[in-house]
Structure 1
């Protein structure tokens, strides 16, 4: 726990060997890993303040029908809140879950982990996850694709984009570059999930020193202004 990254990696290394099956679902192959043995160890990765809000029994219950967890993406991200110094990390998880058909099913989740320092170690002070849908993304709307997202929210809602939008991709990291009417340069960082959905992470602007600087753009506020005209 000497660094935030160590804490997260070791936390999920413990959970990888844990399983909390339910009576009505299973994988058809008996017990997995060390069953419930690792959960008390994993619970001690949580901060004191988090434990006050989240009892061990509640923690254990949150893993019902979670039989194997792999950490597949981990990145530090800048906070969406201005002037925040919080430690925030993006994670994506691959989870094996049981079913009534006696076979294991793969499910994917993404979200954020927040950490704080206690003494000389880093502990988890909060977590939030969302499940990934594998049917909606290819069939519904513009929010799942980085370029369409910028076209709608940044060009149509905020009138911020002037000219073309350039998309670059390095692994699962996508950047959408564009300029405004005054030729200021921006890019929006996205992470592409396993199901192909692009998730917005942060906004950046090229400053007068020709360096990319974190900024905070809230397109929904632009839309609210249009609605209230």
Structure 2
């Protein structure tokens, strides 16, 4: 999709491979996904976009939903009557399933990034603060927090729980500086790390 363009006639003539990549990319969607999202609707999702660059991609552990990836893209866009194009950023998750043709995309989300409020962000944009508030103040689970481990744009925050277990909350850092939580793990004693699913916003019960 890097060379795909859907500027609606606006721009400087033919850009990249124009609309040629769209039918090819659409066929990477699973049959069920295509039944929910028509080709016309799919192309419309890229309205105003003239170029797309994949800047981040990593496999997300997800024992419930199988093969899942986190991604972030940078787009060159033009809309709203402006004469100049501008850069846009978005992120989301992609899930894959295996069909006869091979692995197909069964689910995909796309969330646009905010660059005006993000520089003045509150606690919910910072991974360390998110862990302290959600798992500490809300769930009353934290005994003490260990130093954060960073690997490029991946941030792993470990803490020891009041239940004597250790926890690891993994975040991906966006271009605008916001940390997005992508996975949770728990290890009791000498056992192996096990993925868990907690929603502190709703309840603090583990699944």
Q: TM-score, normalised by structure 2?
A: 0.90
Q: In structure 1, what is the equivalent of residue 72 of structure 2? A: 92
User: CA contact under 8 A between 1:95 and 1:108: conserved in structure 2?
Assistant: yes
Show the 5 A alignment for 1:107-122: 107-122=88-103
User: C-alpha displacement at 1:30, in angstroms?
Assistant: 2.9
CA distance in 1, matches of 2:188, 2:106: 33
User: CA contact under 8 A between 1:87 and 1:116: conserved in structure 2?
Assistant: yes
2:161 is equivalent to residue 174 of structure 1: no
CA RMSD of aligned residues (A): 1.9
CA distance in 2, matches of 1:55, 1:170: 39
Q: 1:164 to 1:60 in 2, by over 3 A?
A: closer
Larger displacement relative to structure 2 (152-161 or 133-142): 133-142
- The structure showing larger relative contact order (alpha-carbon pairs under 8 Å, at least 6 residues apart) is 1
Q: In structure 1, what is the equivalent of residue 196 of structure 2? A: 215
**Number of equivalenced pairs:** 204
Larger displacement relative to structure 2 (175-184 or 102-111): 175-184
Structure 1 segments unaligned to the other structure (5+ residues): 1-14, 224-229
User: CA contact under 8 A between 1:147 and 1:165: conserved in structure 2?
Assistant: no
CA distance in 2, matches of 1:103, 1:172: 30
Q: TM-score, normalised by structure 1?
A: 0.82
Larger displacement relative to structure 2 (155-164 or 178-187): 178-187
CA distance in 2, matches of 1:221, 1:42: 37
CA distance in 2, matches of 1:54, 1:222: 33
Q: In structure 2, what is the equivalent of residue 3 of structure 1? A: none
Determine helix, strand or coil for the equivalent of 1:49: helix
CA distance in 2, matches of 1:141, 1:21: 35
CA distance in 1, matches of 2:42, 2:110: 14
Cα deviation digits, residues 103-153 of structure 1 (max 9, x gap): 221111100111111115111112111001112222131000011111111
Structure 2 segments unaligned to the other structure (5+ residues): none
Q: In structure 2, what is the equivalent of residue 57 of structure 1? A: 40
CA distance in 2, matches of 1:21, 1:120: 31
Q: In structure 2, what is the equivalent of residue 71 of structure 1? A: 54
Q: 1:111 to 1:181 in 2, by over 3 A?
A: same
